């Protein structure tokens, strides 16, 4: 239950709601943190598909790919002075000179036996290097190309770098040495190298005069350092892209740029360091924040674009989508950006390889891969209030209570049973569709595949929503319990309470949202069960094959307003359950006698429905309910709505509620 107290003035109200936006958090086999977590860094590194950042207090934070726990920073990690990422693993050097590792602990993933006196670490594919304070290098693990064979004499080293099977070392005399895929000892007359970077079978070195020299293979132009080759203070090289940081804080990129990994994020100024992964790159700004650009296949670049007030999320195979209250859509993983639209989006879902969204005008938009075929536009493309996606098809609910489908999959998933009317919810599964009628009857059609997904439960007037997943289905009741069918998953009895939303792709990870804002995760993958931070304050959740995404916070909060002659009285709103489907109870109370109106608005302030107008006695309350319909009786789409209580004298109370179809 949420509470919001005295607010005044419509313009101030909208600003307050925008400032109270929540955050999208993704965890599991990939980690996508909220932007607030990507700040305060003094160093960032990447060598693959995940990133690590070091803060001034010695703490470490990781994000991106997390298949083997490479982003799961140990809770008891001491303060660190250096860190490195590699193939499914992360390592850090503590202030005490020991190396700590997490992620894949085989083939050079565990710390070395003599784990003392280290000052730097570098991680390759199956081996690692550690630099000791006496200038020697320790190698462990194995390398197919000799990247673990430190050149002799093993002395006077001051820096090390590794990328996959390529090792690079810098000596105190300013010479650079490469071993592994490329072997050479590099020195130039009257040239002293001061910094090095390792890439795929190549390396870059920075001279004391600020120029960059390339060694090794030339991949897609990575050897062609742009002119003028002067004024550089940092450098990085990855799978084929290269970056140079100039003293004016701008980044120069060259080489392979297929994913945009050589195009720095704008504004191209105020950077203090650079790093390169496989197909993405990082820029560390002067304020300690991080900009990531390039491939976002595993979330290494975070949400695009960033959201200010997320209201809905959906994750499926290798990608996810999120909807902001302003009608924009952010994406991550193996999915293109949503098509640009002058009409705001109101709902979005991820499919197996594609995504679908509804616009405010009730039309459907799809993008991505829907099974390799081009499907005709749905006719008429209008009047939709909810959308759900299976593997290759979508199921939609119209405002007249009928169901429509679009896309591929078996023909039977599109055979909506007659009468095609009276539906209040619909959900698309992998090869079947399930819908709920207003009288509590569940209807399913499509392909069973021996999993029992078409054997729906008997009618129950307490059913408020249905969901179709791989090998099982769920009907949610208005008391917070759920009925399950199919052979793949059943909610444990002790967990079957206070549920307001459930989502899954496969039965291996199922996520539930409770009415108190906590999550319950049923999974056999320990990475998926690691809910970040306190398990509270969540408003939406979705589970995919490689993790879980949730929205934390985002509810409106009371904001002190410097307004003159503000009334010494106020209104309070409480809404429960929230999120809801199909009905929410809204209670308004007043500290003094007042005539009160209770309205539902959309997030742009447009009137949806008046719930109640009447007289409240002092310290009295009135409860009204909203069934998700507008003033004309049309079903409203999933999303965030505003409940507004108003009394004479410009006294307002506002709450955010979320309708989940």
Is residue 530 classed as helix, strand or coil in its secondary structure?
A: coil
pLDDT attached to residue 560: 27
Give the C-alpha separation, 305 to 292, whole Å: 12
- The residues, any chain, with a CB within 8 Å of residue 449's CB and separated by 6 or more, are 431
The percentage of the chain sitting over the pLDDT mark of 90, rounded to a whole number, equals 64
Structural domain including 53 reads 33-294
pLDDT attached to residue 604: 59
- The residues, any chain, with a CB within 8 Å of residue 318's CB and separated by 6 or more, are 297, 333, 334, 545, 546
Q: Considering the domain boundaries, does residue 461 fall inside one? A: no
Say if residue 540 is in the same domain as residue 611: no
Count of Cβ atoms closer than 10 Å to residue 446 Cβ:
25
Q: Considering the domain boundaries, does residue 224 fall inside one? A: yes
Say if residue 545 is in the same domain as residue 600: no
Is residue 51 classed as helix, strand or coil in its secondary structure?
A: strand
Say if residue 97 is in the same domain as residue 202: yes
Q: Is the peptide bond before 487 cis (omega within 30 degrees of 0)?
A: no
Say if residue 537 is in the same domain as residue 626: no
Say if residue 242 is in the same domain as residue 343: no
Query: At 606, which CATH number?
Result: 2.60.40.4070
What is the tens place of the pLDDT at every residue in 490-530?
A: 999 999 999 989 999 988 999 999 988 999 999 999 999 99
What is the tens place of the pLDDT at every residue in 206-243?
A: 999 999 999 999 999 999 999 999 999 999 999 999 99
Q: Which of 243, 261, 294 is the last residue of a domain?
A: 294
Give 289's pLDDT tier (boundaries 50, 70, 90): very high
Helix, strand, coil % (nearest 5) of the chain?
5, 50, 50
To the nearest whole number, what is the mean pLDDT of the chain?
Answer: 88
Q: Model-level pTM?
A: 0.77
Say if residue 570 is in the same domain as residue 547: no
Average pLDDT in the 66-94 region? 96
Helix (H) or strand (E) holding 17: helix 10-19
Give the C-alpha separation, 638 to 535, whole Å: 24
What is the tens place of the pLDDT at every residue in 605-653?
A: 678 898 988 888 887 888 888 988 888 787 887 777 888 888 765 456 7
DSSP 326-347: TS-EEEEES-PPPPP-SSPEEE
Give 13's pLDDT tier (boundaries 50, 70, 90): very low
Q: Considering the domain boundaries, does residue 111 fall inside one? A: yes
Nearest to 45 by CA among 153, 137, 161: 161
Query: At 171, which CATH number?
Result: 2.130.10.30
pLDDT attached to residue 19: 29
Q: Considering the domain boundaries, does residue 373 fall inside one? A: yes
Give the C-alpha separation, 310 to 330, whole Å: 9
Q: Considering the domain boundaries, does residue 539 fall inside one? A: yes
Say if residue 547 is in the same domain as residue 566: no
- The residues, any chain, with a CB within 8 Å of residue 509's CB and separated by 6 or more, are 28, 521, 522, 523, 524, 525, 528, 543, 544, 545, 547, 548
Cβ contact 162:122 at 8 Å: yes
What's the N-to-C CA distance of the chain in angstroms? 19
Residues making up the chain, counted from first to last: 661
Q: Considering the domain boundaries, does residue 177 fall inside one? A: yes
Say if residue 530 is in the same domain as residue 615: no
Q: Which of 270, 294, 318 is the last residue of a domain?
A: 294
Say if residue 222 is in the same domain as residue 362: no
Say if residue 92 is in the same domain as residue 238: yes
Count of Cβ atoms closer than 10 Å to residue 42 Cβ:
14
Is residue 555 classed as helix, strand or coil in its secondary structure?
A: coil
Beginning with the edge strand found earlier in the chain, give each strand of the sheet holding 547-552 in spatial order. 23-28, 547-552, 538-544
Q: Considering the domain boundaries, does residue 49 fall inside one? A: yes
Say if residue 203 is in the same domain as residue 329: no
Cβ contact 401:424 at 8 Å: yes
Q: Considering the domain boundaries, does residue 446 fall inside one? A: no
Q: Which of 552, 569, 592 is the last residue of a domain?
A: 552
CA 49 to centroid of chain Cα atoms:
15
What is the tens place of the pLDDT at every residue in 103-153?
A: 998 887 889 989 999 999 999 999 999 999 999 999 999 999 999 999 999
Say if residue 259 is in the same domain as residue 353: no
The domain tally of the chain equals 3
């Amino acid at each position: 239950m949420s509470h919001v107290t005295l607010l005044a003035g419509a313009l101030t109200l909208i600003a307050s709601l925008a400032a109270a936006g929540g955050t999208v958090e993704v965890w599991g086999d990939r980690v996508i943190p909220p932007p607030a977590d990507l700040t305060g860094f003094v160093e960032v590194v990447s060598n693959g598909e995940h990133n690590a950042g070091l803060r001034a207090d010695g703490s470490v934070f990781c994000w991106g790919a997390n298949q083997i726990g490479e982003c799961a920073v140990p809770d008891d990690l001491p303060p660190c002075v250096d860190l490195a990422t590699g193939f499914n693993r992360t390592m850090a050097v503590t202030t005490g000179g020991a190396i700590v590792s997490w992620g894949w602990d085989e083939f050079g993933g565990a710390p070395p036996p003599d784990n003392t006196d280290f000052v730097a670490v570098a991680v390759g594919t199956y081996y690692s290097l550690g630099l000791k304070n006496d200038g020697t290098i320790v190698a462990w693990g194995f390398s197919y190309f000799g990247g673990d064979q430190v050149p002799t004499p093993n002395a006077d080293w001051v820096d090390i770098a590794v990328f996959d099977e390529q090792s690079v070392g810098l000596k105190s005399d300013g010479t650079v040495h490469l071993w592994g895929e490329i072997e050479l000892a590099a020195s130039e007359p009257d040239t002293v190298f001061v910094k090095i970077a390792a890439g795929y079978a190549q390396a870059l070195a920075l001279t004391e005069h600020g120029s960059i020299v390339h060694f090794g293979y030339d991949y897609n132009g990575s050897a062609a350092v742009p002119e003028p080759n002067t004024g550089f203070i940092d450098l990085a090289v990855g799978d084929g892209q290269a970056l140079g940081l100039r003293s004016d804080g701008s980044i120069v990129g060259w080489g392979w740029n297929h994913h945009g990994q050589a195009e720095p994020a704008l504004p191209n100024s105020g950077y203090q360091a650079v790093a390169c992964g496989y197909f993405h790159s990082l820029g560390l700004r002067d304020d300690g924040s991080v900009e990531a650009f390039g491939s976002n296949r595993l979330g290494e670049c975070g949400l695009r674009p960033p959201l200010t007030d997320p209201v809905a999320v959906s994750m499926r195979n290798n990608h996810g989508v999120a909807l902001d209250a302003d009608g924009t859509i952010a994406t991550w993983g193996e999915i293109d950006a949503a098509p640009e639209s002058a009409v705001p989006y109101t709902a979005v879902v991820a499919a197996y390889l594609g995504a679908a969204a509804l616009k405010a005008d009730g039309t459907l938009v799809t993008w991505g891969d829907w099974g390799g075929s081009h499907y005709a536009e749905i006719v008429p493309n209008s009047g939709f209030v909810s959308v759900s996606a299976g593997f290759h098809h979508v199921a939609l609910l119209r405002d007249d209570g009928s169901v429509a489908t679009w896309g591929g999959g078996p023909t039977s998933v599109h055979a909506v049973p007659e009468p095609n009317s009276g539906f209040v919810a619909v959900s698309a599964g992998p090869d079947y569709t399930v819908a709920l009628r207003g009288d509590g009857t569940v209807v399913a059609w499509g392909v069973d595949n021996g999993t029992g997904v078409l054997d729906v439960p008997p009618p129950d007037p307490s059913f408020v929503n249905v969901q179709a997943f791989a090998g099982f289905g769920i009907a949610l009741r208005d008391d917070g319990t759920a009925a399950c069918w199919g052979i793949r998953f059943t909610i444990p009895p002790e967990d079957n309470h206070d549920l307001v939303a459930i989502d899954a792709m496969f039965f291996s990870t199922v996520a539930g949202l409770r009415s108190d804002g906590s999550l319950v995760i049923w999974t056999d993958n320990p990475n998926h069960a690691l809910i970040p931070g306190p398990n509270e304050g969540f408003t939406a959740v979705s589970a995919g094959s490689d993790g879980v995404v949730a929205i934390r916070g985002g509810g409106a909060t009371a904001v002190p307003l410097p307004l003159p002659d503000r009334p010494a009285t106020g209104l309070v709103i409480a809404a429960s359950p929230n999120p809801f489907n199909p009905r929410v109870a809204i209670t308004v109370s007043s500290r003094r006698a007042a005539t009160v109106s209770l309205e539902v608005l959309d997030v742009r302030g447009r009137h949806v429905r008046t719930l109640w107008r009447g007289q409240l006695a002092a310290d009295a309350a009135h409860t009204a309910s909203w069934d998700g319909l507008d003033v004309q009786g049309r079903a409203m789409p999933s999303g965030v709505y505003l409940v507004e209580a108003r009394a004479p004298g410009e006294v307002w109370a506002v709450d955010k509620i979320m309708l989940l179809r």
